[in-house]
Structure 1
Amino acid sequence: MAENPRSAGFATGVLLPSAALIIAGLLLWQLRHLLLLGFAAALLAIAFSSLAKIIDERSGIGWYLSLLVVVVAVISGVAGFSSLLGAQVTGEITQLARRAPDLAISIGNWLGLEDPWRWLEQQARRVFRDMSLLQGISGVSSVVYSTLIETLLVVAGGIYLAARPAVYRGGFLRLLPPNWRSRGASATSEVARALRIWLLGQFLAMIAVGVLTTLGLFALGIPSAIALGFLAGLLEFVPYVGPVISAVPALAVGLAESPTKAALVFALYFAIQQAEGLFIAPMIQRKAVDLPPALAVFAIIAFGIILGPMGVVLAAPLTVLSVVLVKVLWLEETQHNGDRPDRVSDRKPASETGR
């Protein structure tokens, strides 16, 4: 019995590509955590490359030596911070951890919770349940070890990507169909530019928020001011959600002192966030990409639901990536084809053009 050519063409042209897309989608979903680690490494590579480019242009020592200077400087900076303030921050964090049960109980009583410490334990288990890559080990040590391993992977990946960015970019573009490569090159360049500016702005915001919070808590006489300021600066990387999370332990410590201290701590955090929103955030939005607050908040929630805790941490740069890709690959193409909304009203109906 002869095979129907139409059925064979349908199977080859529709079913096989559809099955391949479904399999690829399922594979990417299973590897989503690894892909997030790769995206974090790419962010680090952009930061390293930006600094290395400045050094190379001003000194002329070559790309690899410039990158080596950047890596050594970053490692030295982290080591210097750890030696100067690491013990202080660690001690204050330990002190906060020891006071956590009492703080949780006092806040729970204030909020009307029957067993606040048990409620916090349940929420912590839910948050960290899917965070580890090492599924065979359980407990807190699993999270610590896997986080350390993942951090080392991100740093190593960032260095390798920064060492030869053109090679990896060219390899990615060669995976695209020939007629897509020009737009792909434009999109990758625009994404790298936007993320570079966003990273610079976030770095400045993190330093400013961390320093101002520490000084403000010192002035208010709040215990563990350095640890709380360090936490505020670190969580500033996650817009809107991070500052709220960082304020919780500070409010808890202030409430343990007195309701007046808690009110002053709230006013301090609110004032710092308003100042950050007035001076630093506009610079990021003007030069990188304008992210409306509602879009940023819902993006953080969406990425958190889909990708877990790491999705929350990387939600802002992922949103920048998504907005730039939509702008370059869709909106600019639509405008190039003359389908802008302001042109729609100028088109005459077919009945008029046919006269």
Structure 2
Amino acid sequence: MPAFPKPTDPSARLLLLAAALVVAGLALWQLRHLLLLIFAAILLAIVLNSLSRMISGSIGINGPLSLAIAVVAILACITGFTLLLGSQIAGEIKQLAERAPELAVSVGNWLGLEDPWEWLEQQGRRIFRDLSLLRGISGVSTVVYSVLIETLIVVAGGIYLAVRPRTYHDGFLGLLPKAWRPRAAISISEAAEALRIWLLGQFVAMIAVGALTTLGLMALGIPSAVALGFLAGLLEFVPYVGPVISFAPAVAVGLAEGPAKAGLVLALYFAIQQAEGLLIAPAIQRKAVDLAPALAIFAIIAFGVLLGPMGVVLAAPLTVLSVVLVRTLWLQEDDDSQAVEAPAGRPGLSKSDRPLEG
């Protein structure tokens, strides 16, 4: 089969390169939801590998066995939490859902809205209309089934990535030109470490905020305190925006109990966020990428506009990744001496490329 002749005219080469970039950009845009699922799986793989290394360092078990113990430990924690508080949280969420029209009317009257419940329904339909990747592929009719399927995809992908991370790491580097591989290896290493520390900080913050919110609301006598505290801890994963969203239903419940209770709830949430920002975040995140508040807020808005609700959820780790890549690839703020030559046929790796090792 004859080979295609290579264009010799520089303008033709530039035109072909521009066309290839446009096609690649359009393809990536069409696959943006799938790419978000892959990124979520990578985050899960980082968590599993970090826990696996902790287990390996504690009891001396290496390889797939330590990873299996890590998966079992996470499943045991989820199962234990579900058995202890799952039914109570589900019952309280059901109560909140039943009281939603009443709470919406209370908030609407306070804000001067004519029909707040209809406005909330319209916003909910708009948000979930484009949420699912699978709606146009498998015909899944409900958002719940779609979310469950995509969650299973992320979990399965994260486990496979965690089992043999070096295979995917080296495979990705192998797609790049040889001259780019040492720099790319350093960037991947630093990005993985920054994401690992950021995830650790967010996990600690989520537990602390959830526990403090639950105890504080119980002390104030607010109904559905456990469900509201669980929601506050869950939404803490999305910095700045998540706490605002989580405090809205709590204040709505407080308004139904009276303006004074609503003021106390507002003061409680403000105090917890100040404690998290002054005590928890600096202690954990000082070793990770320091995201300025304005950068984080605008990034969340930008990723939300471009990528939808899932872009909002993953906006903070995406911003961490972007900052590290800009620093290591564009500004090149690292020590080039860290890059070492690999054996023949294997991409160059960084000495600091520890976070990706299984």
What is the TM-score when the length of structure 2 is the normalising length? 0.89
Q: Which residue of 2 aligns with 1:86?
A: 86
Q: CA deviation at 1:19?
A: 1.1
Inter-CA distance 108–139: structure 2 relative to 1 (3 Å threshold): farther
More divergent stretch after superposition (278-287 vs 37-46)? 278-287
Inter-CA distance 219–141: structure 2 relative to 1 (3 Å threshold): farther
Q: Tell me the distance in 2 between the aligned counterparts of 1:48 and 1:176.
A: 27
CA contact (8 A) 1:214 1:226 kept: yes
- Deviation sequence 1:91-123 (CA, Å, 0-9, x none): 000000000011001111111111111000111
Q: Which residue of 1 aligns with 2:98?
A: 98
Q: CA deviation at 1:144?
A: 0.6
Q: Tell me the distance in 2 between the aligned counterparts of 1:104 and 1:255.
A: 10
CA contact (8 A) 1:108 1:115 kept: yes
Q: CA deviation at 1:141?
A: 6.0
Q: What are the within-5 Å matches in structure 2 for residues 50-199 of structure 1?
A: 50-136=50-136, 142-199=142-199
Q: What are the within-5 Å matches in structure 2 for residues 149-298 of structure 1?
A: 149-298=149-298
Q: Tell me the distance in 1 between the aligned counterparts of 2:53 and 2:144.
A: 34
Higher Cα radius of gyration: 1
Counterpart secondary structure, 1:332: coil
Higher relative helix content: 1
CA contact (8 A) 2:49 2:67 kept: yes
Q: Which residue of 2 aligns with 1:339?
A: none
- Match for 2:61: what amino acid? I
Q: Tell me the distance in 2 between the aligned counterparts of 1:138 and 1:9.
A: 46
Q: Tell me the distance in 2 between the aligned counterparts of 1:139 and 1:150.
A: 14
Q: CA deviation at 1:12?
A: 4.4
Inter-CA distance 43–334: structure 2 relative to 1 (3 Å threshold): closer
Inter-CA distance 138–93: structure 2 relative to 1 (3 Å threshold): farther
Counterpart secondary structure, 2:135: coil
More divergent stretch after superposition (8-17 vs 33-42)? 8-17
- Match for 1:291: what amino acid? L
- Deviation sequence 1:119-178 (CA, Å, 0-9, x none): 001111111111012325999961111100111111111100010111111111111111
- Match for 1:85: what amino acid? L
Q: Tell me the distance in 2 between the aligned counterparts of 1:261 and 1:168.
A: 53
Q: Tell me the distance in 2 between the aligned counterparts of 1:171 and 1:197.
A: 25
CA contact (8 A) 2:210 2:233 kept: yes
Q: Tell me the distance in 1 between the aligned counterparts of 2:260 and 2:234.
A: 26
Q: Tell me the distance in 2 between the aligned counterparts of 1:197 and 1:334.
A: 18
Q: What are the within-5 Å matches in structure 2 for residues 10-49 of structure 1?
A: 10=10, 12-49=12-49
- Deviation sequence 1:196-240 (CA, Å, 0-9, x none): 000000000000000000000000000000000000000000000
- Match for 2:19: what amino acid? A
Q: Tell me the distance in 1 between the aligned counterparts of 2:204 and 2:238.
A: 14
Counterpart secondary structure, 1:135: helix
Q: Which residue of 2 aligns with 1:322?
A: 322
More divergent stretch after superposition (68-77 vs 207-216)? 68-77
Higher relative contact order (CA 8 A, sep 6+): 2
Q: Tell me the distance in 2 between the aligned counterparts of 1:28 and 1:222.
A: 47
Q: Which residue of 2 aligns with 1:303?
A: 303
CA contact (8 A) 1:173 1:185 kept: yes
CA contact (8 A) 1:132 1:142 kept: no
- Match for 2:282: what amino acid? P
When the two structures are aligned, how many residues end up with a matched partner? Answer: 332
Counterpart secondary structure, 2:130: coil
How large is the Cα RMSD of the aligned pairs?
2.1
Give me the identity figure in percent: 72
